Amino acid sequence: MSGRYAPSPSGPLHLGNLRTALLAWLQARLAEQPLILRVEDLDLPRVKPGSSEQILKDLRWLGFNWDEGPDIGGPAAPYEQSARHPQYQQAFQQLLDNDLVYPCYCSRKDIQQVASAPHAHEYSPIYPGTCRDPAKRAAIRQRHPEKTAAWRYRIPTHTIEFKDRIIGHISQSLDREVGDFVIKRADGLFAYQLAVVVDDGMMGVTDVVRGADLLDSTAQQIQLFETLGYPVPSFWHVPLMLDNTGTKLSKRDGAASLDLWKQQGKSAEMLIGHLAFTVGLIDEERAISTLELIQGLTLDLLRDKLINRR
Ligand code: GLU
| Count of residues making up the chain | 310
| pLDDT-flagged residues of the chain (< 50) | none
Catalytic residue at 266? no
Q: How many Å apart are CA 126 and CA 186, to the nearest integer?
A: 18
CATH code of the domain in which 164 resides:
3.90.800.10
The structure's pTM equals 0.95
Region label for 246, one of left (φ > 0), alpha (ψ between -120 and 50) or beta (otherwise):
left
- The verdict on 108 and 245 lying in the same domain is no
Mutate to test the pocket of ligand 1, among 4, 58, 194, 196 (most ligand atoms within 8 A of CB): 196
**Spatial distance between the Cα atoms of 28 and 144, rounded to a whole number of angstroms:** 48
pLDDT value at residue 247? 85
114 and 258 inside one domain: no
Residue 226 belongs to a domain: no
The residue to mutate among 5, 14, 19, 40, having the most atoms of ligand 1 within 8 angstroms of its beta carbon, is 40
In the chain, the number of structural domains is 2
User: What pLDDT does 243 receive?
Assistant: 83
Same domain, 62 and 201: yes
Same domain, 158 and 287: no
Sign, CA dihedral 244-301-307-123, equals positive
Residue range of the domain that includes 282: 3-76+196-217+238-309
How many separate helices (H) and strands (E) can be counted in the chain? 11, 9
**Domain co-membership, 57 together with 123:** no
Torsion over CA: 261, 266, 268, 271 (sign) = negative
Q: Which residues line ligand 1 (CB under 6 A)?
A: 6-8, 40, 196, 210, 214
Residue 228 domain-assigned (yes or no): no
105/288 Cα distance (integer angstroms): 54
Which residue is catalytic, options 251, 262, 266, 305? Answer: 251
* Ligand 1 atom at minimal distance to the Cα of residue 10: 4
Are residues 13 and 148 located together in one domain of the fold?
no
pLDDT for res 119 = 59
Among 192, 194, 237, which residue has the most ligand 1 atoms within 8 Å of its CB, making it the best to mutate? 192
Q: For residue 19, what is the enclosing H or E element?
A: helix 15-30
Domain containing residue 35: CATH number: 3.40.50.620
Residue 7 CA: nearest ligand 1 atom is: 4
- Ligand 1: centre distance to CA 126 (Å): 22
Claim to verify: residue 202 and residue 53 sit in the same structural domain: yes
224 belongs to a structural domain: no
